[in-house]
Structure 1
Amino acid sequence: MADLPFNSARIEELVLRLNAVTAKEGTDVPDLGGNAADDEVAATLQETDGDLSRDEITQEIYSMNDEQKDALVALFWIGRGDAEPEQWEETKVLARQQHEGLVSRYLLGQPEAGEFLTEGLEKMREYGVE
């Protein structure tokens, strides 16, 4: 039986933060103008240099050990439908072999990363892994 090398609550928290970051967009208009009350909403959805969310995710993933990083990519792939829970060990090995660069950069570059991690976690739970 497969084991997750991290607490599923940690992944759920990571998903929430990934979703918050991927919902943001780059600043298109430096001076929003218009109604000050409306400007606050637009500014909330725009990523700025002082926004720590992306850096915090990068740091959290960077602090994971190699096994956890491989499992995170494998969980993402399972959620995306590239592998099945029964192939957990093989998928982790494949993640180690094929994934180059920072795992955080890879996941942050995927608009549906949170959705796929959630789906992967659900599939693993259905398979009997908690």
Structure 2
Amino acid sequence: MLDVNPSTVCRLIQLAREFHAQEQVVIPTSSDDASEDWHLQMLAAHAGDSTLAEFRAVVDDLEPDQQQQMVGLLWLGRGDYTLDEWKITLSHAGDAWNETTADYLIAHPLLPTYLEEGLMLHGYSCNE
């Protein structure tokens, strides 16, 4: 069951698209472990970006369990887990959770695609 509002996920998808569309955003090939800080290093150069600031604000306003669901949607949409494994996905996201969830999420260049896929698997769409 998805407890994060699908419209919030859709807003984050839109913000991620805007952020990644910028030419100066370069995301290195690196680890996908949510507990590592590679994403912080990559995003340091974009500290003044208003789209990044809004993305962070939306994610930071979510409760920790909702942030974990956002990470779960990323992993689900990326194919790391199946919908049948949702509880396991959330458990792993909970184990990896920290206060840099927004940066971990936005550092994935295919985040909008993964979130849309994860939403679809839960029966939601941003096109409604």
Q: Under a length normalisation based on structure 1, what TM-score does the superposition of the two structures give?
A: 0.73
Query: Residue in 1 aligned with 2:59?
Result: 61
Q: CA deviation at 1:25?
A: 2.5
Q: Structure 2: which 5+ runs fail to align?
A: 26-44
Alignment match, 2:112: 114
**Equivalence for 2:8:** 10
Letter in 2 for 1:109: A
Mapped contact 2:81–2:89 kept (Cα < 8 A): yes
1:79 counterpart = 2:77: yes
**Offset, 1:51:** 3.5
Aligned equivalents of 1:99 and 1:66: distance in 2? Answer: 8
**Equivalent residue number for residue 22 of structure 2:** 24
Deviations 1:71-110 (A, max 9, x none): 0000110000000111111101101113445111111111
Deviation by residue 1:22-74 (Cα, 9 ceiling, x = unmatched): 111329xxxxxxxxxxxxxxxxxxx9775311001011101111110110000
> In structure 2, the residue corresponding to 1:26 is in which secondary structure?
coil
| Closer/same/farther in 2, CA of residues 85 and 52 from structure 1, 3 Å limit | same
Amino acid at match of 2:104: Y
Give the Cα separation in 2 of the matches to 1:26 and 1:15.
19
Q: After the TM superposition, which residues 33-44 of structure 1 pair with which residues of structure 2 at under 5 Å, given as runs? A: none
Consecutive unaligned residues of structure 1, counting only runs of 5 or more, are 28-46
For 2:76, the aligned partner's letter is I
How far apart in 1 are the matches of 2:56 and 2:46? 16
TM-score normalised per structure 2:
0.74
CA distance, structure 2, for counterparts of residue 64 and residue 106 of structure 1: 15
Aligned-residue identity in percent: 25
Question: Amino acid of the residue matched to residue 73 of structure 2?
Answer: L
Q: 1:50 to 1:7 in 2, by over 3 A?
A: same
